[in-house]
């Protein structure tokens, strides 16, 4: 099923081998068309099932993988990233073997999400990462045995990350949750009413984390250290608390990866690619599933991937798949309401805090400007390796600026790949 060589063209292209992409591939595989799944990672699984089958603990991942192994019309290609559109229904890819163009008839975007990182004093110190970022590093083999780790931010991902740290031999010094205990009680009561499976999962995690100090209504205000992180100061109510730690993982929320949808001119609303009941985007022959069309977790990704895969081969989804999606989306809405990003986090960033860490631009320098475009032109913010994915999103939250525009290539790219783009479509948005 897996191969390093890409076909030049494919009938159905699926971007992303996470839960949504794998579910879409299986659903679409009913027909004999050639299906190509591509992913920039080196193994299937996306974010939640990162690392491939040997590391999966979720039976649903194994079931999907076993079923896909029997689908001879599905090929999955790893280590390949879409960086641009080179013609109508043609992408330019960066592959280990150089640039390659790939044409498709139908496309399912399952590009997932990334973390929202927010600046606060000390956030650029080595040892400070995103919450999911630390989890990904651990799953990738980073040793944390004996390390003292603080996990901060908001939402259930903090619990999952803390559990990963403990399983890998680290010590979680505290989970620092921004939301108040009343918020959390309301969330758990809503789980009890409509999402008992999720409630059980959370209780199991709390049990596994029973020795960890869980602080609510708290936020990290400073990360201390010179060459690396040595400790943090946090504010809980009106108390200031200092903690020593080696690593700090901050999870402020997730943002859909919109690059491909934007490249293709799909409608984007409220930071997500717009889809209809069949998961179809506003562009013909393009469907979207999973985090890219709304943050909601693995259940939503699986249900939407299944529906999108069927729609791409002209089939309507079964009523139980539609019901699963509705239930998963209801959970996604609950998460959104319960763990909406807290306005107070805007105040964490001080005048001299770096916001654009690629180009060393501070909040003070950015505040002299009224919008992202001017700030970028005058300060070089967003012109480094992240291309505004991190600092642009932070500025959106802190200053209320519009989202940074997107230009091809949408990811930092080798010049040899760029050469293959010559004569291709130009900027998507200036």
Ligand X SMILES: Cc1cc2nc3c(=O)[nH]c(=O)nc-3n(C[C@H](O)[C@H](O)[C@H](O)COP(=O)(O)OP(=O)(O)OC[C@H]3O[C@@H](n4cnc5c(N)ncnc54)[C@H](O)[C@@H]3O)c2cc1C
Min. distance of Cβ 161 from ligand X in angstroms?
A: 7
Q: Is 119 in the site for ligand X (CB under 6 A)?
A: no
Strands 171-177 and 286-288: unpaired
- The site string for ligand X over 214-253 (x = CB under 6 A, - otherwise) reads ----------------------------------------
| DSSP string for residues in 311-322 | HHTT-PPPHHHH
- Burial readout 204-216 (b: 16 or more C-beta within 10 A, e: otherwise): eeeeebeebebbb
CB nearer to ligand X: pick between 254 and 361:
254
Q: Supply 130's token pair.
A: 């995103």
Q: Please name which of 62, 43, 61 lies closest in space to residue 52, comparing C-alpha atoms.
A: 43
CB nearer to ligand X: pick between 160 and 361:
160
Q: Supply 84's token pair.
A: 């641009």
Question: Judged by CB under 6 A, which of 121, 127, 290, 294 binds ligand X?
Answer: 290
Judged by CB under 6 A, how many residues of this single chain contact ligand X?
37
Distance (Å, rounded) from C-alpha 354 to C-alpha 121? 8
Question: Judged by CB under 6 A, which of 6, 14, 17, 356 binds ligand X?
Answer: 17
Contact 376, 356 (CB under 8 A): no
Question: Judged by CB under 6 A, which of 75, 101, 106, 114 binds ligand X?
Answer: 114
Contact 230, 129 (CB under 8 A): no
Min. distance of Cβ 42 from ligand X in angstroms?
A: 10
- The site string for ligand X over 125-144 (x = CB under 6 A, - otherwise) reads -------xx-xx--------
Question: Judged by CB under 6 A, which of 12, 25, 48, 303 binds ligand X?
Answer: 48
Element (H, E) at 312: helix 298-312
Which residues lie below 8 Å from residue 267, measured CB to CB, with a gap of 6+? 273, 274, 281, 282
Q: Is 41 in the site for ligand X (CB under 6 A)?
A: yes
Min. distance of Cβ 6 from ligand X in angstroms?
A: 12
Sites of contact with ligand X (CB under 6 A): 15-21, 38-41, 46-48, 81-82, 110-115, 132-133, 135-136, 157, 160, 254, 257, 259-260, 290-291, 297-298, 301
């Amino acid at each position: 099923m897996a191969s390093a060589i890409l076909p030049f063209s494919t009938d159905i292209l699926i971007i992303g081998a996470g839960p949504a992409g794998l579910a879409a591939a299986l659903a679409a595989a009913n027909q004999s068309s050639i299906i190509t799944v591509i992913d920039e990672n080196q193994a299937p699984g996306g974010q939640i099932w990162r690392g491939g089958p040997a590391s999966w603990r979720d039976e649903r991942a194994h079931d999907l993988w076993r079923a896909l192994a029997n689908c001879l019309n599905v090929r999955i290609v790893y280590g390949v990233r879409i960086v641009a559109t080179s013609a109508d229904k043609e992408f330019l890819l960066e592959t280990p073997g150089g640039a390659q163009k790939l044409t498709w008839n139908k496309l399912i975007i399952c590009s997932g999400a990334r973390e929202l990182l927010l600046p606060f004093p000390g956030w650029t110190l080595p040892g400070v990462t995103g919450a999911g970022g630390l989890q990904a590093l651990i799953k990738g083999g980073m040793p944390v045995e004996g390390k003292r780790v603080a996990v901060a931010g908001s939402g259930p991902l903090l619990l999952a990350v803390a559990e990963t740290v403990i399983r890998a031999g680290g010590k979680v010094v505290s989970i620092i949750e921004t939301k108040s205990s009343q918020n959390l009680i309301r969330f758990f009561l809503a789980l009890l009413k409509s999402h008992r499976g999720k409630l059980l999962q959370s209780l199991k995690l709390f049990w596994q984390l029973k020795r960890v100090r869980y602080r609510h209504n708290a936020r990290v205000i400073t990360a201390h250290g010179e060459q690396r992180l040595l400790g943090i100061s946090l504010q809980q109510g009106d108390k200031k608390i200092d903690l020593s730690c080696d690593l700090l993982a901050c999870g402020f929320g997730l943002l859909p990866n919109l690059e491909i949808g934007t490249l293709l001119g799909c409608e984007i609303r409220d930071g997500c690619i717009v889809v209809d009941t069949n998961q179809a985007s506003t562009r013909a022959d393009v469907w979207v599933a999973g985090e890219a069309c709304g943050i909601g977790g693995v259940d939503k990704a699986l249900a939407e991937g299944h529906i999108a895969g069927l729609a791409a081969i002209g089939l309507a989804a079964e009523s139980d798949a539609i019901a699963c999606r509705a239930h998963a989306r209801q959970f996604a809405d609950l998460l959104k309401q319960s763990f909406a990003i807290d306005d107070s986090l805007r105040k964490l960033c001080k005048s001299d805090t770096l916001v654009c860490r690629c180009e060393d631009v501070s909040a003070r320098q950015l505040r002299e400007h009224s919008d992202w475009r001017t700030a970028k032109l005058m300060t070089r913010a967003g012109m480094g390796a992240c291309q505004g994915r991190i600092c642009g999103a932070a500025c959106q939250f802190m200053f209320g600026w519009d989202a940074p525009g997107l230009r091809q290539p949408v990811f930092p790219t080798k010049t040899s790949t760029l050469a293959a783009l010559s004569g291709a479509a130009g900027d998507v948005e200036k």
